[in-house]
Amino acid sequence: MTYKTTIGLEIHVQLKTKSKMFCGCDNNAEGVQPNTLVCPVCLGLPGVLPVANKQAIGWTLKTGLALNSKIAEHSKFDRKHYFYPDLPKGYQISQYDLPFLIGGQVEIEVAGDKKIIELTRIHLEEDAGKLVHAGTDSLVDLNRAGTPLMEIVTEPCIDSPLSAKIFLQELRSIMRYLGVSSADMEKGHLRADANISVSADEKLGVPVEIKNMNSFKMVEKALLYEEKRQREVLDAGDKIAKETRGWDDAKGITYSQRSKEFAQDYRYFPEPDLPPFEPTKMFDLAKLKAEIPELPAEKRKRYQSEMGLSLQDAEVIAIDQEMANYFEKTAEIVSPKLAANWIINELKIDGLVKIKPEDLAELLKLIDSNEISGKIAKDVLPQMLETGKSATDIIAEKGLKQIGSEEEIAKIVDKIISENSEIVSSIKAGKTSAIGFLVGQVMKETKGQANPAMVNKIINEKI
């Protein structure tokens, strides 16, 4: 039986605004004592009034503009009621029928194929606190209560676990480019829940919700597991149960958490303490749009069409804003392909921080002009990292310059030929592959300072 997989994602992005969504408390709880960043508003004490964070709304609209969503003319906040110990108010301020943004698209590349992931909506809400389970006790930390969360919902249009992972990575990258979230999945700044269904025909199957995935790898693994599980259930002639399943990373399985026969009744109603919004009037949308930098998808295209990079190299560089900035600066001085190759394969993250783009370019220019070989350059780079000295200084100090003159190389070639007469006769007898051995000997003799192409040429001329 051939099956079709359909995945939809719900992503929560924690915005890195200075203060929380509806009060003035500090929004950065990293490394802070529990329950110290709280006030009557986020503690949910009676009689308090929320005030919406304008920055959080502006950033949500900017995200929508970047993702081609339609900005709502009328929008409002609603109360979503449920009981849980991390939610002291007994309701969460969220958005129900009038979200700030409707629709939208994200373009991704999956194994060389372009795919458009359609968005349903983007809305803004507040986060709940955090429960910490210690032995038989459960402790609550309300530092996170009231943190602004942007919820991005996709259409059920993602066709594979790999596409889901790549989409999430693209989304993380976009959030970082926009500067609205650090979008770190391991730290819970970006959280994803997935709905996955498998069916034998074009109709959607029964969606199963999966929770508790906190890395990109886990998302892919959990969805692959669930895809296989559902196919096996269908193969056995059984029905898929509509339910929520958790991901157990240690065991590598999903497990049933609760059945989802009935939608939970959240008794949504408009938040009476916050006025409705007219986002298109409240914000200068042209100004917000002008603040959006070139995003990874555009960079990928430009790096390939204008700078001659392969799709693979363009992808690796464009996804990381810091690497992309570094690459663009280096490529102003040396060929983009050479720059990309060195940044991806040699420099790595440590190098990005410690070596300036113009200093890397100086090293690469020396390869380009044949003053040093690529092999020598690979030895010089770690010394640049270690000493902070420039490539030119290290090469001068250590006498690493490539032997440029043909005469000098020819002399060494003569020496190697005379020392290896047997090999030379075998080459003359037709075993041309043995030339490589002679080239190697010359390179050894010159400590890698000869240009291999030139050595090859001279040996061929002399034999």
- Minimum CB separation from Zn ion for residue 134, in Å? 25
DSSP characters over 179-193: TS----TTTTSEEEE
Stretch that binds Zn ion, among 22-30, 249-257, 313-321, 404-412 (CB under 5 A): 22-30
User: How many residues sit in the footprint of Zn ion (CB under 5 A)?
Assistant: 5
101 beta partners: 71, 122
Q: Which residues contact 345 (CB under 8 A, 6 or more apart)?
A: none
- Minimum CB separation from Zn ion for residue 143, in Å? 9
- Minimum CB separation from Zn ion for residue 146, in Å? 5
Q: Which residues contact 221 (CB under 8 A, 6 or more apart)?
A: 161, 247, 249, 252
DSSP characters over 320-336: SHHHHHHHHHHHTTS-H
Q: Considering the complex, state which of residue 36 and residue 387 has its C-beta at the smaller distance from Zn ion.
A: 36
Using only C-alpha atoms, the chain has a radius of gyration, in whole angstroms, of: 30
By CB under 5 A, residue 145 contacts Zn ion:
no
Q: Considering the complex, state which of residue 23 and residue 384 has its C-beta at the smaller distance from Zn ion.
A: 23
Q: Are 219 and 213 in contact (CB under 8 A)?
A: yes
Q: Of residues 30-69, which lie at the interface with Zn ion (CB under 5 A)?
A: 39, 41-42
Q: Are 6 and 196 in contact (CB under 8 A)?
A: yes
- Minimum CB separation from Zn ion for residue 17, in Å? 13
Q: Which residues of 347-361 are buried (b: 16+ CB within 10 A; e: fewer)?
A: beeebbeebebebbb
280: three-class secondary structure by DSSP: helix
Q: Considering the complex, state which of residue 24 and residue 252 has its C-beta at the smaller distance from Zn ion.
A: 24
Q: Considering the complex, state which of residue 128 and residue 347 has its C-beta at the smaller distance from Zn ion.
A: 128
Q: Considering the complex, state which of residue 23 and residue 367 has its C-beta at the smaller distance from Zn ion.
A: 23
- Minimum CB separation from Zn ion for residue 23, in Å? 3
- Minimum CB separation from Zn ion for residue 19, in Å? 8
H-type helices in 6-147, by residue range?
40-43, 54-66
- Minimum CB separation from Zn ion for residue 43, in Å? 7
Q: Are 9 and 194 in contact (CB under 8 A)?
A: yes
Q: Dump strand ranges (E) for 103-207.
A: 105-110, 113-126, 130-134, 137-141, 148-154, 190-199
360: three-class secondary structure by DSSP: helix
Give the sheet arrangement for strand 91-94, strand by strand: 91-94, 78-81, 269-270
Cα dihedral angle (169, 174, 176, 181), rounded to 10 degrees? -90
Cα 119 versus chain centre, distance: 19
By CB under 5 A, residue 25 contacts Zn ion:
yes
Strands 208-213 and 190-199 turn out to be antiparallel
- Minimum CB separation from Zn ion for residue 15, in Å? 15
Q: Considering the complex, state which of residue 145 and residue 376 has its C-beta at the smaller distance from Zn ion.
A: 145
What distance in Å separates the CA atoms of residue 151 and residue 154, rounded to the nearest whole number? 10
What distance in Å separates the CA atoms of residue 282 and residue 265, rounded to the nearest whole number? 32
- Minimum CB separation from Zn ion for residue 95, in Å? 20
What distance in Å separates the CA atoms of residue 110 and residue 107, rounded to the nearest whole number? 10
- Minimum CB separation from Zn ion for residue 21, in Å? 9
Q: Considering the complex, state which of residue 56 and residue 295 has its C-beta at the smaller distance from Zn ion.
A: 56
109 beta partners: 114
Residue carrying structure tokens 């080459």: 427
- Minimum CB separation from Zn ion for residue 20, in Å? 5
Q: Considering the complex, state which of residue 26 and residue 291 has its C-beta at the smaller distance from Zn ion.
A: 26
Q: Considering the complex, state which of residue 51 and residue 282 has its C-beta at the smaller distance from Zn ion.
A: 51
Q: Considering the complex, state which of residue 18 and residue 447 has its C-beta at the smaller distance from Zn ion.
A: 18
- Minimum CB separation from Zn ion for residue 319, in Å? 35
Residue from 9, 11, 23, 372 touching Zn ion (CB under 5 A): that is 23
Q: Considering the complex, state which of residue 141 and residue 315 has its C-beta at the smaller distance from Zn ion.
A: 141
Q: Considering the complex, state which of residue 43 and residue 253 has its C-beta at the smaller distance from Zn ion.
A: 43
Site residues for Zn ion per CB under 5 A: 23, 25, 39, 41-42
